[in-house]
Amino acid sequence: MTSMEETTSAPLARSARPTRTRHTVLWLTVAAYMVTYMDRVVIGVAAPSIQEEFGFSVVTMGWIFFAFQISYALFQVPGGWLGDRFGPRRALTWVVTWWSFFTAATALTWSAASMIVCRFLFGMGEAGAFPIATRSLSRWMLPSERGWAQGLTHAGSRLGGALTPVLVVALIGLYDWRMPFFLFALIGVIWAAIWFWYYRDNPSEHSGVNDAEREMIVEALGDHSAKRSGSVPWKQILLNPQMWLLASMYFCYAYCINIFLTWFPNYLNDARGFELAAMGLFASAPLVAGVLGDLAGGYVSDHLVKREWGLKLARRLVAVVGFGMAAVLIPVAVTADDTAVSIICFCVAVFGLELTVGVSWAVSLDVGGQYAGSVSALMNTFGNIGAALAGVLTGYIVASAGWEPAFYVLSILCLIAAIIFLWLDASRPLFREPTDGDARAAS
């Protein structure tokens, strides 16, 4: 009787329509990325008001930006390890709550030194966001959905970044520069509570996943219900040249995008003469274009995978085209006399730049496997070393030579990143998973 029930239940499970709990998990992750960038971008938009109140120079603001970025870079690997060790459910709840506290605390600072310390502690929390979130999707999203998933999550981050300038400018107008920090901190705490209530580290533990969806996930990714993450195979990862190509490419990308997240409002105010309201609107425009780039890059890459172009070519083609677009258009944008032409070129350049980001994080999933949290953390560490340097070096470049040379650096880095991606192969894992045959041979 039991065997008959088993043989009849399997076809029924396969014929049932799979639930879409994994998509709800994805949308929750998208919301996390939005919160991450809202909390990150707010200080760039508030910077002119902060400088006016405290008398900070452009170099001082550069060091405040640097404090977050260097902390964010240094704690990437510990953040990824936290997700691999304790699971994304607990780890992401912890780090979002931590950085939300220091988002609010930023509004209570009283000097450059106190703000630098606060932003450093804020960066410690945010450092775990993307690696842990990537790890949270590694056991839920099918390989053919990864490019789209990573594009969608990063679109969420850029949408948060795009909405933030307009919202912050409105709140500053109604209250002062401190109010956005308090409001965004509250949003983060609410998200953390929802995440802990809904998310589960394995699909098999989630009551909303039916047998058909569970079987589909297991067939694509393997059964992790009885497995626990062992030690991270750092030796295999660190000795693989692909890891360093991935890290170097992301260094170039993160340096470039950080300019649009931190310095671009100042550029519009200083070089283009925009007042506060116009600055908020036009600072958002490239990030809105970036949202479209995130969605397009992930979608096109996954479409090529489904059309059997292979992971290697599907990821590479989209990224090289995107970096190439940015490399060509950024110099045009910064030298254009017409403001409208400049903004349009910046928008198309950021669109191209963001074509690459979903692909980059999909590659970290492709080659990282069950240790995608640690692999993506290492990639993001180097990316945010680049972003940290962008924050502080741009202040010095602008002070000594003006805005044009600062943007020429971005064009050069985009060209380098395109060349690097020509050598990346998403179809080659960074390490070999042990098989049953290996276990039998060892015994």
pLDDT in tens, 373-391: 678 788 888 887 898 788 7
Quick count: other Cβ atoms within 10 Å of Cβ 45? 29
**For residues 375, 381, 386 and 392, what is the CA-based torsion angle, rounded to 10 degrees?**
170
Side-chain half-sphere exposure of 194, counting CA atoms within 13 A: 13
Cβ(430)–Cβ(232) below 8 Å: no
Residue 441: both structure tokens together: 């041979």
Nearest to 322, CA basis, from 349, 285, 292, 284: 349
Tell me the C-alpha distance between 22 and 126, whole Å: 24
Nearest to 386, CA basis, from 251, 250, 263, 256: 251
Running along the chain, 443 residues long, what does each successive block of 10 average in pLDDT? 45 63 87 86 84 85 85 83 83 93 92 93 89 80 75 79 81 88 93 92 81 78 55 81 92 91 80 72 80 84 80 87 95 90 92 90 78 79 85 86 92 95 82 51 37
Nearest to 346, CA basis, from 410, 405, 300: 410
Cβ(326)–Cβ(410) below 8 Å: yes
**Residue 250, pLDDT score:** 94
Nearest to 320, CA basis, from 299, 333, 301, 334: 301
Tell me the C-alpha distance between 330 and 299, whole Å: 24
Q: What one-character DSSP code corresponds to residue 260?
A: I
Tell me the C-alpha distance between 330 and 348, whole Å: 9
Residue 407: both structure tokens together: 């943007």
| pLDDT digit string, tens, across residues 110-154 | 899 999 999 999 999 998 888 888 778 877 777 777 777 877 887
Domain ranges for the chain, please list them.
Answer: 20-218+232-430
SS3 158: helix
Is domain 20-218+232-430 classified as CATH 1.20.1250.20?
A: yes
**Residue 230, pLDDT score:** 57
Residues 6+ away with beta carbon under 8 Å from 431: 233, 236, 237, 240, 369, 371
Distances from the Cα of 362 to the Cα of 27, 46, 366, angstroms: 17, 33, 6
Cβ(335)–Cβ(404) below 8 Å: yes
Residue 50: both structure tokens together: 């902060």
- What amino acid occupies position 265? P
Cβ(281)–Cβ(165) below 8 Å: yes
- What amino acid occupies position 439? A
**Residue 435, pLDDT score:** 47
Tell me the C-alpha distance between 186 and 66, whole Å: 25
Tell me the C-alpha distance between 304 and 292, whole Å: 18
Tell me the C-alpha distance between 388 and 76, whole Å: 13
